[in-house]
């Protein structure tokens, strides 16, 4: 069962046990969290700012006002492949992601 806040947004899942109820928080990373994480991983004390990385994220994924490079490629009928991560492609009239081997292995705890 998914638990919602007063605005109807999911905040967690509830799992019933014989003696207690456990709430598992739904974890999500928004744009600012992604920018911070990428900046931390890419800079390692270097010269990239949050603003610079934010512009790269926006150029890649797009914003409300402008399509990013991935969306533009999909509209042109192309598939965008990031080796190991996966590929973005058109699927049933929408955008799809086919995860790559490296991403699947990492997510399932088989590596790193």
Q: Which domain, by its residues, includes 97? A: 70-112
The torsion angles phi and psi of 23, rounded to 5 degrees, stand at -105, 130
Count structural domains, the chain. Answer: 1
When pLDDT is averaged across residues 86-112 and rounded to a whole number, the result is 89
In this structure, are residues 106 and 112 in contact, taking their beta carbons and an 8 Å threshold? yes
The answer to the question of residue 98 being in a domain is yes
Which letter does DSSP use for residue 29 in this model?
-
Output the domain CATH number for residue 89.
4.10.520.10
* pTM of the complete model: 0.65
Size of the chain in residues: 112
What is the three-class DSSP state of 112? Answer: coil
The answer to the question of residue 89 being in a domain is yes
Residue-wise pLDDT tens digits, 46-79: 788 999 999 999 999 999 999 999 999 999 999 9
State the SS3 of 85-108.
Answer: CEEEEEECCEEEEEECHHHHHHHC
Pairing status of strand 21-25 against strand 80-82: unpaired
């Amino acid at each position: 069962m998914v638990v919602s806040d007063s605005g109807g947004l999911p905040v967690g899942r509830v799992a019933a046990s014989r003696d207690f109820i456990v709430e598992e928080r739904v974890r999500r990373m928004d744009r600012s969290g992604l920018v911070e994480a990428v900046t931390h991983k890419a800079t390692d004390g270097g010269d990239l700012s949050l603003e610079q990385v934010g512009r790269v994220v926006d150029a890649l994924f797009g914003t409300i006002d402008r399509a990013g490079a991935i969306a533009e490629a999909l509209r042109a009928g192309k598939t965008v492949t990031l080796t190991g991560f996966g590929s973005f492609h058109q699927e049933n009239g929408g955008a799809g992601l086919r995860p790559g081997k490296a991403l699947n292995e990492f997510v399932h705890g088989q590596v790193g």
